[in-house]
Amino acid sequence: MKLFNKHNQENQNRWQYHHGVDAELAFKPHISGWLSAVLFIVILLITLEISTGTMSQLIEFIHLF
């Protein structure tokens, strides 16, 4: 039981370390998560565009902005 309690305490410490009590620390993982999701979608779109051969249409669309 003592070993289990020690293990539990380590896990709790690890969780606190990763999720930080700081609001800023707690928010950072969410930002990187959003960034990776956006990057993933962009890469997915680009690969789809290349595979369907409509890349020129995409470039024209981007030039509109």
Domain ranges of the chain: 23-65
Question: What token pair was written down for 55?
Answer: 């890349």
Q: For the whole prediction, is pTM greater than 0.75? A: no
Q: Is the pLDDT of residue 44 over 70?
A: yes
pLDDT of residue 3: 58
Interatomic CA distance for residues 57 and 41, integer angstroms: 18
Q: Is the pLDDT of residue 11 over 70?
A: no
SS3 21: coil
